[in-house]
Amino acid sequence: MIEAYSGSKGRSNGARAYTETIESPAGPLTFVVNDEGALLWLKFTEGEYERTVEQELEREGLEIEPDRKPTARAGAQLREYYAGTRRTFDLPLALTGSEWQKAVWRALTSIPYGETRTYGEIAARIGCPRSARAVGKANATNRLPLVVPCHRVIGANGSLTGFAGGLHLKTRLLEHEAGIIARSANP
């Protein structure tokens, strides 16, 4: 289960953000935490984005510092996921978005490791069964892919659709999880 973060730091007025880049199943990723260690951003460096994490943070007025002490907890859990020893995260998250977006993101965290759900199934789960497209839009604004696992959401026909940074990253993450499950089923 992911614990919600409700602190006020990490959004402007000279607040600091701490970054680290590590290897992941979808290639190198950069993640960012605030002063309290709440996860702010996660981006795959091989993704197709308009701006880097650093540019996004600077736009929000955050001072960026590489420092492994504040990023240690998140870094450890992300490495465990990569190694196949972690299937869920229990990190504080600084979720930035509307109540609708947050409801979608919370629903995403209930998708079991190695499984997928459709946009329609997520919409139904949050009580809005006709809002599959709105679920897709909320997914597109998810700043914490992998931890808030939007890669586990697929089209109604089973196809891979939409993933910030490119479908190649979504494919790698799903293949990683399938591989871990297959190895644990056949030790």
pLDDT 10s digits, 4-44: 443 444 444 568 899 999 988 888 999 999 988 899 999 88
- Which residue, 24, 33, 29, is CA-closest to 64? 33
pLDDT number for residue 14: 63
Tens digit of each residue's pLDDT (9 = 90 or more) over 147-159: 999 999 999 898 8
Give the mean model confidence (pLDDT) for residues 162-166: 78
86 with 104, same domain: the answer is no
**Of 93, 123, 153, which marks where a domain is finished?**
93
Tell whether pTM > 0.75.
Answer: yes
pLDDT number for residue 61: 86
36 with 80, same domain: the answer is yes
Q: How many helices (H) and strands (E) are present in the chain, helices listed first?
A: 6, 8
Which of 135, 147, 150, 173 is flagged as catalytic?
Answer: 150
d(CA 153, CA 144): 14
100 versus 49: the higher-pLDDT residue is: 100
67 versus 62: the higher-pLDDT residue is: 62
Q: How far is CA 12 from the centre of its chain?
A: 22
Report the percentage of the chain scoring pLDDT > 90.
Answer: 52
State yes or no: is 150 an active-site residue: yes
What are 125's two structure tokens? 């789960």
89 with 146, same domain: the answer is no
Q: Which helix (H) or strand (E) holds 129?
A: none
Give how many domains the chain has, as a whole number: 2
What is the maximal distance between C-alpha atoms in the chain?
52
Q: What is the CA radius of gyration of the chain?
A: 16
Task: Yes or no: say if 131 and 107 are a contact pair by the CB < 8 Å rule.
Answer: no
Task: Yes or no: say if 164 and 56 are a contact pair by the CB < 8 Å rule.
Answer: no
Query: Has residue 63 got a pLDDT over 90?
Result: no
Mean of pLDDT over the chain? 86
87 with 104, same domain: the answer is no
pLDDT number for residue 46: 81
Mutual orientation of helices 132-140 and 99-108 as an angle, nearest 10°?
90
Indicate which CATH number applies to the domain containing 128: 1.10.10.10
d(CA 55, CA 17): 12
71 with 150, same domain: the answer is no
